[in-house]
Amino acid sequence: MEKKPHFVRREFPPREASSLSLVLLLVAVLLLNALLYLYLNQFYISSGRVETDPTLCSFGYFKLGAVKNCSPWLSCEAINREVRKLKCVGEGAVKKVFLSEWKENKVVLSQLTNSELKEDFLHGLKMLKALQSKHVVRLLGYCEQQFTILTEYHPLGSLRGLNETLHIPKYKGMNTWHRRLMLAIDYVSIIRYLHSSPLGTLVMCDSNDLDKVLSQYLLTSDFHVLVNDLDALPLVNRSAGRLVKCGHRELQGEFVAPEQRWPYGEEVPFEDDLMPPYDEKTDIWKIPDVSNFFLGHVEGSDIVRLHLFDIHAACKKKDPAERPSAQEVLDTYRKVLTLLIREAAMPGTREML
């Protein structure tokens, strides 16, 4: 009687199966890292490169909305003829701000309100022209004779309204630790840009309390941060021995850096001439407080704070020379973001390996 052949099912030995699982896991990790790199590369520009926006035109030109061609900055004549004021939306010590319209586009028209501060106004215009980049609100035109500046309109307004915006149903999906950390990264990127700007090392002086800082920045509709107010931006030039002082009045409170406070005690009346100048490290001191506002109190934000603890402690060093540079802070923020995204995407990977 002929025997029928037996088909034997091959099974992998336990060690071989374990090795195969490990290989598959490593492949998955590599693929994840590649995806993370592609994802984060949208936001990161390597150190030392000029940070420009591909939608920006050459100096003296702009484009707005879906328009593909660049137009020259609007002149006094064009502003007077083509721009229509709609309503006043804000007023500060230097200027009044109007929501306006130009060729069916919403724009912002800023006008000087205090003639004694015209030098501050013109300094802000000079900075706005020279620093056009992906970090700065887009300039559309100006008229020096009439002390008028025209800029792009951002309907979400300044960062002071961030928490209110994130509670609007349309934007609740943005209210995550990841998106909030990205906003903090945008903010530190702006500080880094100002400290290494085409004009030299600039200090963000209009920043004596958190509310004032937040009012200087805009939140875009795609949830990025732009600096909007550049009226108080003095230049540090160490090689020439040039440091800065943010105004001529005494600054107080824990928000401003120690070197910005009167160093001679209450028994000595404040005198501007006796107040020592300082450098851009005052901006570094304020980063942890501003970032703490950005992170808010959503799920995961405390974990982010824990990862940023050491760099924030370094930012709060009493000696300015011991504080990190804005670039070092930015590098740390980016590393933390990458680490936390990786851990969120593949929890338990470290233990499996």
What DSSP character marks residue 61? E
Q: How far apart are CA 172 and CA 325, in angstroms?
A: 34
Output the pTM of the full model: 0.84
User: Residues 201, 92: one domain?
Assistant: no
Nearest Cα to 324, choosing from 191, 131, 184, 234? 191
Inside any domain, residue 33: no
Q: Which of 97, 126, 152 is the last residue of a domain?
A: 152
Nearest Cα to 203, choosing from 144, 154, 260, 134? 260
Q: Tens of pLDDT along 159-193?
A: 999 999 999 999 999 999 999 999 999 999 999 99
H or E stretch covering 71: strand 71-72
Residue 306 has pLDDT above 50, yes or no: yes
pLDDT value at residue 248 = 92
User: Residues 125, 262: one domain?
Assistant: no
DSSP string, 80-147: HHHEEEEEEEEE-SSEEEEEEEETTEEEEEEEE--GGGHHHHHHHHHHHHHT-STTBPPEEEEETTTT
Domains of the chain: total? 2
Lowest mean pLDDT among 202-211, 246-255, 317-326, 343-352: 343-352
User: Residues 130, 256: one domain?
Assistant: no
Q: Which of 137, 152, 167 is the last residue of a domain?
A: 152
Backbone angles phi, psi at 108, to 5 degrees: -120, 125
CATH of the domain at 81: 3.30.200.20
pLDDT value at residue 46 = 38
User: Residues 103, 223: one domain?
Assistant: no
User: Residues 124, 231: one domain?
Assistant: no
Residue 32's CB is within 10 A of a number of other CB atoms, namely 15
Q: Tens of pLDDT along 239-296?
A: 888 999 999 999 999 999 999 999 999 999 999 999 999 999 999 999 999 999 999 9
Contact 71/150 with Cβ under 8 angstroms?
no
Domain residues for 110? Answer: 70-152
Residue 3 has pLDDT above 70, yes or no: no
Contact 144/75 with Cβ under 8 angstroms?
no
User: Residues 205, 234: one domain?
Assistant: yes
User: Residues 256, 289: one domain?
Assistant: yes
User: Residues 100, 175: one domain?
Assistant: no
pLDDT value at residue 40 = 53
User: Residues 148, 161: one domain?
Assistant: no
Inside any domain, residue 352: no
Q: Answer positive or negative: Cα dihedral of 329, 334, 339, 344.
A: positive
pLDDT value at residue 241 = 87
Q: How far apart are CA 157 and CA 89, in angstroms?
A: 10
Q: Tens of pLDDT along 207-239?
A: 999 999 999 999 999 999 999 999 999 999 988
User: Residues 201, 321: one domain?
Assistant: yes
pLDDT value at residue 36 = 56
User: What is the pLDDT of the chain when averaged over all its residues?
Assistant: 88
Nearest Cα to 100, choosing from 81, 128, 72, 117? 81
Nearest Cα to 226, choosing from 272, 306, 157, 326? 157
Q: Please report, rounded to a whole number, the percentage of residues in the chain having pLDDT higher than 70.
A: 82
Q: Is beta strand 95-102 parallel, antiparallel or unpaired with respect to 105-112?
A: antiparallel
pLDDT-derived band at 129 (thresholds 50, 70, 90) equals very high
Strand pairing partners for 261? 251
Q: Which of 112, 131, 152 is the last residue of a domain?
A: 152
Inside any domain, residue 331: yes
User: Residues 146, 291: one domain?
Assistant: no
pLDDT value at residue 239 = 86
Inside any domain, residue 225: yes
Backbone angles phi, psi at 89, to 5 degrees: -120, 0
Q: Tens of pLDDT along 42-75?
A: 544 433 334 555 668 899 999 998 788 999 999 9
Cα 15 to chain center, whole Å? 51
pLDDT value at residue 344 = 82
pLDDT-derived band at 23 (thresholds 50, 70, 90) equals low
Residue 353 has pLDDT above 50, yes or no: no
pLDDT value at residue 43 = 46
Residue 313 has pLDDT above 70, yes or no: yes
pLDDT value at residue 16 = 60
Inside any domain, residue 42: no
Strand pairing partners for 224? none
CATH of the domain at 318: 1.10.510.10
